[in-house]
Amino acid sequence: AQSVAQPEDQVNVAEGNPLTVKCTYSVSGNPYLFWYVQYPNRGLQFLLKYITGDNLVKGSYGFEAEFNKSQTSFHLKKPSALVSDSALYFCAVRDGGAGNMLTFGGGTRLMVKP
């Protein structure tokens, strides 16, 4: 069975500072990894994904994520946080050999303060 862990319920960061939202995963095969963001009263929006290739993946709104196979992690990062980045962030994984079933983590609330 595949699973995702987001160890922090909330991350607080000051505007302009770098941010990291952590994610670790477990799959039996090759992992396909995703980050989604959820703003209040809106559906999830795709940020970025890792399928294969370069371990550093760049996505929307200046976000990036680093795939680390030995640590089974896929942490989300941004060099300089904006207040508008405040939202709920979800990491998701699926086994590359299975159907397109995504397993989501519990989410991390990012709070960026001015």
Partner 1 sequence: EAGVAQSPRYKIIEKRQSVAFWCNPISGHATLYWYQQILGQGPKLLIQFQNNGVVDDSQLPKDRFSAERLKGVDSTLKIQPAKLEDSAVYLCASSLPLLAAGNQFFGPGTRLTVL
* Interface with partner 1 (CB under 8 A): 4, 32, 34, 36, 41-46, 49, 51, 90, 92, 94, 96, 99-107
| Torsional sign, CA 73, 55, 1, 47 | positive
Q: How far is the CB of 73 from partner 1 (least distance, A)?
A: 17
Closer to partner 1 at the Cβ: 38 or 73? 38
What's the closest the beta carbon of residue 62 comes to partner 1, in angstroms?
Answer: 19
Nearer to partner 1, 51 or 83 (CB): 51
4 phi and psi angles, rounded to 5 deg: -135, 140
Is the separation of the CB atoms in 88 and 108 below 8 Å? Answer: yes
CB of 106 to partner 1, least distance (A): 5
